Homo-oligomer: A and B are copies of this chain.
Amino acid sequence: MSARPASGNDTAAALRATAHRLDAEDPLRPVRERFTLPEDVVYLDGNSLGALPKAVPDRLARVVAHEWGALGIRSWTESGWWEAPERVGELIAPLVGAGPGQVVVGDSTSVNLFKALVAAVRLAGEGRDEVLVDSSSFPTDGYIAEAAVRLTGHRLVPVLPAEVPGRLGPRTAAVLLNHVDYRTGRLHDLPGLTAAVHEAGAYAVWDLCHSAGALPVGLDAHGVDLAVGCTYKYLNGGPGSPAFLYVRAAHQAAFDSPLPGWNSHAEPFGMRPSYTRAEGATAGRVGTPDILSLLALEAALGVWEGVDLAAVRAKSLALTDFFLECVDRYVPAGSLESVTPAAHEERGSQLALRTPRAAALMPRLIARGVVGDFRPPDILRFGFTPLYVGFADAERAARVLAEELGAGD
């Protein structure tokens, strides 16, 4: 560590003292003990892959050895495997503001986007031939939307979320939006945009990948029609754990999946030649659920016991505010630009800092134990998972970032 001017040392000491005070006052601090975190690492990539909940290894070992190894096929009934997609869905439901019977878990986010989008345009019916899709969103949303409208005969209209109200009209069938932009961390106005979509008589499909588990979503309260989300980011389900699909109760009777596999049949073991849709969220199932990943996710969701989402949101904003303050103090002005909105109501739980040196810088941060990620062409991305990231972590990350930028030399 190089020698610093006295003012730098003072700054660091003050920020560290603040960090320790904030950590001591943090009501979510004990939740960190529910995770196994990499040693001596500040893990700011929970927005990409959540950390390992301590309950997972033992649960998974028992699923493998006892449920699969000893009971074999009997576990489909005796160990509750068959109902796992709905059961795990019910654990996610309160985290996204959904009442019972509307969330089912299975398949990847991309596959669920396809189901949701095709189902949405079918709900909209004839005469509405346009689908608006967020052009700033994660690419897979755009690719899948393009693939879906190619099959349904609709026209894709790429728009920025802010442009949606101006582009809605009698031809709009459905609108696909990301709640939080994966790159910039911008939080979009789910209640307002959903209301605008409804006013135009269209259906709102939300991608919650970067908001589920990071902030209150309020699917039921805001009238969202369909939603999909990832479980391996803020829900800590493990690498590639299955995604979830929300189908609003009011739409379930007319929900018409483009992937009606046998698991969504009203009588799956009847092995009937004709398809009859199951009731409820089950209609969103397709094939045999991936039990190992699904039950790892179920165990992982135990970390939410007693956790208040309002407290999660409050800590998320406090953490990102504090990190920005530390960056502001440690890093020379002009060397980094935050592309995440400063306004709380427009911020998710991650920060995106722009620098032309981003690609080279991130591996150096990782080598020094500050794990974020790089998104082309020039974004350093830092995710702040309130369940296990603390204020001292934020201070350390900002300090290492400043050092690697050369601020302390």
> Out of B118, B140, B287, which one reaches A108, CB within 8 Å?
B287
Contact B292 A60 (CB under 8 A): yes
**Cα separation A61 to B269 with both chains bound (whole Å):** 33
Q: Known interface pairs A107-B107, A139-B262, A262-B143. Does A296 touch B287 (Cβ–Cβ under 8 Å)?
A: no
Interface residue total, chain A, C-beta cutoff 8 A: 85
Is A241 part of the binding interface, using a Cβ–Cβ cutoff of 8 Å? yes
* A71 to B289 CA separation, bound complex (whole angstroms): 27
Partner of A262, one of B52, B110, B241: B110
Quick one: which of A321-342 are within 8 Å of B by CB? none
B72 touches A43 (CB 8 A): yes
Selected contact of A371 from candidates B72, B106, B289, B373, CB within 8 Å: B72
A304 in the interface, Cβ–Cβ < 8 Å? no
The distance in angstroms between the C-alpha atoms of A118 and B214, with both chains bound, is 37
* A282 close to B (CB within 8 Å): no
| Residue pair B239, A291 in contact (C-beta under 8 Å) | yes
A72 and B238 alpha carbons, distance in the complex (Å): 9
- Partner of A64 from the list B74, B151, B238, B263 (CB cut-off 8 Å) is B238
CB <8 Å contact, A240 and B49: no
Say yes or no: is A70 at the interface (Cβ < 8 Å to chain B): yes
Q: A72-B45, A292-B239 are in contact. Are A259 and B110 (CB under 8 A)?
A: yes
Chain A, residues 93-115, CB within 8 Å of chain B (1/0): the string is 00000000000001111110010
Closest B residue, CB atoms, query A366: B74
CB distance from A12 to the nearest CB of B (A): 27
Looking at A74, A106, A293, which has the most chain B CB atoms within 10 Å of its CB? A293
Q: Is A261 an interface residue (CB 8 A)?
A: yes
Is A165 part of the binding interface, using a Cβ–Cβ cutoff of 8 Å? Answer: no
* Cα–Cα distance between A366 and B72 once the two chains are bound (Å): 12
Q: Is B270 touching A376 in the complex (CB atoms < 8 A)? A: yes
Q: Identify which of B74, B109, B275, B375 contacts A271 (C-beta below 8 A).
A: B375
- Cβ contact of A74, chosen from B51, B257, B263, B371, cutoff 8 A: B371
Question: Which residues 51-82 in A have Cβ within 8 Å of B in the complex?
Answer: 51-52, 56-57, 60-61, 64-65, 67-76, 81
Using A64-B296, A111-B286 as known contacts, list a sample of 17 further A-B pairs with CB atoms less than 8 Å apart, ordered by residue number in A. Answer: A38-B70, A38-B71, A67-B239, A68-B238, A106-B108, A108-B288, A138-B271, A139-B265, A139-B271, A142-B275, A143-B260, A143-B261, A151-B152, A240-B291, A271-B375, A271-B376, A292-B292
Please name the 8 residue pairs, one residue from A and one from B, whose CB atoms are nearest each other, closest first.
A108-B287, A110-B261, A110-B287, A239-B291, A52-B69, A140-B262, A151-B151, A240-B290
A interface, CB within 8 angstroms of B: 36, 38-39, 41, 43, 45, 48-49, 51-52, 56-57, 60-61, 64-65, 67-76, 81, 106-111, 114, 118, 135, 138-140, 142-144, 146-147, 151-152, 158, 183, 230, 232, 238-243, 257-263, 265, 269-273, 275, 286-294, 296, 366, 371, 373, 375-376
**19 CB-based A-B contacts, threshold 8 Å:** A38-B69, A39-B70, A49-B76, A52-B68, A57-B61, A64-B238, A67-B239, A73-B373, A76-B239, A81-B239, A108-B286, A108-B287, A111-B259, A114-B259, A140-B262, A143-B261, A143-B262, A240-B292, A269-B376
